[in-house]
Amino acid sequence: MAEPERIYWDACVFLSYINGVPDRLPTIDELLNKARAGEFELVTSSLSHAEVAFADIEKTQGQLDPEIEAKIDDLWKPGGPVKTVEFYDLIGIEARDLMRQGIAQGWGSLKPNDAMHLATAKRLQVARMHTYDDRLLKWDGHTAFAIEEPVVAQMPLSPEPGAA
């Protein structure tokens, strides 16, 4: 049996989920359901634990919500839909090389966190990387994997209003 496709998520996808971004949430929810069902393997760097620390509303109100923290923790708890990969030296070196390559090739500079996500995805040999970050989307075609916004080939059909 073939291993499921491996898809990497940048932290901004998780933040869109936690913040409930209306035009993104249905796609993200469906992809999380598919990952839970084992249709593909969803991975990210352990760096995402720090990048996805709180929702926008917690930051603007200056008050933390235990329900939001639980929603964040549910993403990467054992048996959850997301597998995290530890950051280590080889990923750091690859991230540095990507940052230097971007400058040398005229593709623009990468922030260190973005470079770490790209390097982790490369190290894991993912099929694709999902992000909403325009700076990372520009790297599509310059890696061995596709870099794209999250997409679902076909969303599940919603029941007709009033149907039981």
Q: Which residues of the chain have pLDDT under 50?
A: 164
The whole model's pTM is what? 0.90
pLDDT computed for residue 158 by the predictor = 57
**DSSP-assigned states of every residue in 86-138:** ---HHHHHHHHHHHHHHHHHTS----HHHHHHHHHHHHTT-SEEE---HHHHT
pLDDT computed for residue 27 by the predictor = 97
pLDDT computed for residue 3 by the predictor = 83
Amino acid at 124: L
pLDDT tens profile 28-56 = 999 999 999 999 999 999 999 999 999 99
Domains of the chain: 5-86+125-148 (3.40.50)
Structure tokens at 19: 């913040």
> Of 40, 57, 66, which is closest to residue 150 (Cα–Cα)?
40
**CA distance linking residue 9 with residue 75, whole number of Å:** 12
